[in-house]
Amino acid sequence: MDKLIKMEYIGILFLAFGFGMMLGIVGFVEDLQYIGYGETIEIATQIILSTFLMLIGVKIINGK
């Protein structure tokens, strides 16, 4: 039982980091004056990584 609770906390931690990265992306985009190719690639990679972190967190919480 103790191990299950710790795994749920780890899943919640992954979700929190993924959500925090999403908020960081919003702040990054607000500060931009223009959006070029480099910025678009950076935004896309951050979105993919944060979505992956949240997906892993949900899978850990569900126990899969």
Q: Please report, for residues 29, 40, 62, 63, the alpha-carbon distance to residue 36 in angstroms, rounded to integers and kept in the order given.
A: 12, 6, 39, 41
* Residues composing the chain: 64
Position 15 scores a pLDDT of 92
Where in the sequence is the domain holding 34, given as residue range(s)? 2-62
Q: How many domains, in total, are found in the chain?
A: 1
Positions in the chain short of pLDDT 50: none
